[in-house]
Structure 1
Amino acid sequence: MLKLRVTWPNAGHALLPESGADVRLVAGGTPLPLVSKSPGVREFDIPSGTTRVVLKATFTASFGAVGSVGAMSHPVLQVEQPYDVVAGGTALDAVNIPAFVKSHPLVDTKVMANVNGAALVQIRTEFVNITPFWMAYAAFASEYTTDHQPGDPELVALGYTGGKPLIWFATVPAACAAPPSPRVGCLVFFRPKSYAYTRVDDPHHDMFGLNRYLLKPVDDPHADVWRRDVFRPDPSDGNRPYVWLRAGFEDALSRSGKPVMILHPWPSDSDFGAAIGASLPALAGGALRLLWAEQRLGKNRGAIQLGRLGVAGYSAGGLSMWAALASNRQRVSEVYAFDARGAPSSAGAAIQWFNSRNDTVLRMTGGYQLTANEGIRISIEKLARGPVSRVTATPPNRKAYDAGSNPLWDHVITAYPHLRGRVDFWHQFAVFGGYIAVPGPFAVTFLQRFLQDSLF
């Protein structure tokens, strides 16, 4: 008789309640009886003569009513892995699954050390899919579903069961469905501080700040001010110019054609938790593994793994971006600093990182950080004794915001030409703008250009 122990990490987390863990071992279409059960552990005996078993596991999270949203239950992770019983009934051999050209990406199987006729299976539950919960709880979710277009990258809300941040978002473009290489790139974006939250079913969840980065502008003169691509009067704020224009990350990623997913760790206030530490590559790899397991990328491809890793940050999110780079300088290959705070104090470390390898890429945009960014670029090129295409600082100086220098900037301030020289408005342009770009909702943004010129 072969003994099998099934375990999973972070059992008892709100997203992995014991009551929602349905873990079964099926032989000949019939579930085998449980030998023992405890939080995060299930044990089975496989009778002699059994030739094949199938592990089936479904983890379901449940929350009570939140405001106008009623009680909800949704599966957050599901796996199925068949095994051949081999070696005279003393071992398990995981059967390859065609969709993965291997065994299930979320199931690790090994022989238990020092135990005869026993096997251990661990189900990887560090990340789970919480998209239905997020879309039900978050304000402005309906705006996202309205303006998200067919063919745009897919948005998946991920729950991290191992700590903070609890919520992450993955933006997965069509180019990741069948990547040319098993190594899929990942760009981790650090935004400025957000609202504080403590749980998935938090009544304060708000998608407005996510829409601002992901969605592209709407080409409709009657659209809400924040959905347009020009600064407009905001009637709700004394007709002052509304400046949080959409940055179009989804559109930029899709049109770049790069097999790269963008991860947005969702901070509670300004706390990015483990996202800025040395575990970032493992976390990005875990998110990638879940998305592959759900066939949202690497469809019918084998050996999918994390490829090049990049970090990006805007405004105060730059402080977290530079911290993430410092924690992972040997693993990070691309940095996109969108007028990122901390550039002056991080200049030396950024230059040292850039020069440590010949595959690093550094792209910087500026408003407040024009001087610091240009200083970093000049220092790198002085050390190289010539131009280096892998580093850019744009705009290069204040003159780039003068009339006639960039038609996209001229378009953005159409209604407020007197604000042309305002650095706080340049600061906004740094995240949604572009090089010498033609105006319109399909303008080539800084992010699209960075991705097109990247080594992803």
Structure 2
Amino acid sequence: MAVKLTVTWANAGHALLPDALADIGVELPSGELLTPTSRAPGRRSFDIPSSAGRVVLRAAFSASFDRVESIEPIEVEVLRAEQAFDVSGESITAIETPPFGAAHPLVESDLRPGASQSVRIHTQFVNITPFWMAYAGFADDYLENRDPRVDLVVLGNTSGDPKIWFASIPEACAAPPSPAVGCLVFYRPSGAKYDRIDQIHDMFGLNRYLLKPVEAPEAIAWKRDKLALNPETGAPWLWIRCGFEDALARSGKAVVMLHPWPSALTYGSATSAALPSLAEAAIRLLWAEQRVGKERRGIHLGRLGLAGFSAGGLPLFEALAQNRKRVDEVYAFDARGAAERTAMLAAWMSERPAACLRMTGAHQIEANAAVVKAVAGSRRGSELSERVTVLPESAAAYDQPGATPHWDYAIEDFPGLRSDADVRHQFAIFGGFDALPGPFARTSLQRFLEDSLF
């Protein structure tokens, strides 16, 4: 008598899940590996002897890409999972897998007595960090300047677009205060168009958001904590680094920040009703790799937040419209679309018992003020207004020297740019409105995280 076990996984045949590199095996106590009785893309079947006692399912998935310009061919293991089962009669039972205190997070079992036993391996996201670091320009700049308190994992989406996501994981996620791990999804403005994982990418734009600036006068313009002269153009460099990693670490919050990486401004499923399940899948993979919830039970997606800057406000507000019943935090950094979504934002605040709305402005100062007014005028306005932040409250914060010390510091070498709308716009994602000049500021993101309910 044998127990029939079928192992399946989704999106088989995807470039990141080639069947030829899917190593799925069942190991007997003797160390012998069972030969599959049948195999097909996304499926392997095994006959397990009923006398086996205990077996171990071992699944490893690798991807391989040919030479890309000067980069040699690369093969990388992108996902691995192991799960032990006790065998009894015609059925098997999944046993606790250290360090999860339950079955492996990526192994979902349907083990009904007397029926064919089936196991599904979660393959929505896989870890493609080595591929990205090989193909991305300015990856070396990131590695040299990254915050050691934050782990960056590059995720490959095997079911659609965006194909690439980034996960920033601060140290606090290793031991979250509860099994519910927060997630903040950030929508950037348009980036370069891409069609494949295995092509040349550019990390310069991502570095602008992740890395913190430096105050060293000798640093090149795009690394400075203030406007500085770009030696390549002779014009001031406006795009101060935002320091997201530093903000995550200093906030102390157990929040994974996800960056779905658009092709141009196409965000695909990242703005759809599928977003919560995608965030859940990302958290599941990171837990499986023990990057969140180390040796913790029951890790899952907790509070979900959305953030966006500039034209990234358009996908931000679309994602909110599709997920109003699940999103609890919104950070709109001078985000386009606020004026058109005023009524929705006020309604969302009223619908969610613990919603938090944080906004910065330059182009959107008037639109943000209209949102604040709409929230205040709602049925629970006085209560809700306590969880709304707007920075600055008016253009006077930019206009008047001394009103915003860090803004004064940022433009001190170019005072003629004080009224420049684009300079203000780029400052709005960096922030530091309540910081003093000098060492790296307490940015708007850090403040919003510290004030959050994550």
Under TM normalisation by the shorter chain, which class is it?
over 0.9
Matched with 2:177 is 180
* Rounded Cα–Cα distance in structure 1 between residues aligned with 2:158 and 2:91: 31
Letter in 2 for 1:21: A
Letter in 1 for 2:76: H
* Rounded Cα–Cα distance in structure 1 between residues aligned with 2:158 and 2:258: 16
CA contact (8 A) 1:169 1:263 kept: yes
Pairing 1:207–2:203 present: yes
Matched with 1:230 is 226
Matched with 2:138 is 140
Write out per-residue CA displacement over residues 40-84 of structure 1, whole angstroms, 9 at most, x where no aligned residue. Answer: 110000113111110001100000111221100010000111000
Deviation at 1:217, TM superposition (A): 0.5
1:270 to 253, 257, 265: 265
Matched with 1:48 is 50
SS in 2 for 1:404: coil
2:415 to 417, 420, 431: 417
* Rounded Cα–Cα distance in structure 1 between residues aligned with 2:96 and 2:433: 48
Letter in 1 for 2:20: S
Pairing 1:320–2:315 present: yes
Structure 2 unmatched runs, 5+: none
* Rounded Cα–Cα distance in structure 1 between residues aligned with 2:209 and 2:153: 15
CA RMSD of aligned residues (A): 1.2
Matched with 1:394 is 391
CA contact (8 A) 1:431 1:446 kept: yes
Question: How many pairs does the alignment contain?
Answer: 449
Write the mapping of 1:37-436 to structure 2, written as runs, cut at 5 A.
37-86=39-88, 89-111=89-111, 116-150=114-148, 152-203=149-200, 205-237=201-233, 239-383=234-378, 384=380, 386=382, 388-401=385-398, 402-436=400-434
* Rounded Cα–Cα distance in structure 2 between residues aligned with 1:438 and 1:130: 39
Deviation at 1:381, TM superposition (A): 1.6
CA contact (8 A) 1:216 1:441 kept: no
Deviation at 1:19, TM superposition (A): 1.0
SS in 1 for 2:377: helix
Write out per-residue CA displacement over residues 343-379 of structure 1, whole angstroms, 9 at most, x where no aligned residue. Answer: 1101111111111122000000000000010111122
* Rounded Cα–Cα distance in structure 2 between residues aligned with 1:260 and 1:337: 18
* Rounded Cα–Cα distance in structure 2 between residues aligned with 1:297 and 1:287: 11
* Rounded Cα–Cα distance in structure 2 between residues aligned with 1:229 and 1:54: 53
Structure 1 unmatched runs, 5+: none
CA contact (8 A) 1:405 1:436 kept: no
CA contact (8 A) 2:215 2:440 kept: no
CA contact (8 A) 1:361 1:391 kept: yes
State, as a whole percentage, how many aligned pairs show the same letter: 53
CA contact (8 A) 1:175 1:257 kept: yes
Structure 1 segments of 4+ aligned residues over 4 angstroms from their partners: none
* Rounded Cα–Cα distance in structure 2 between residues aligned with 1:69 and 1:220: 34
Deviation at 1:219, TM superposition (A): 2.8
Select between 378-387 and 419-428 the one with higher mean Cα deviation.
378-387
- TM-score, scaled to structure 2: 0.97
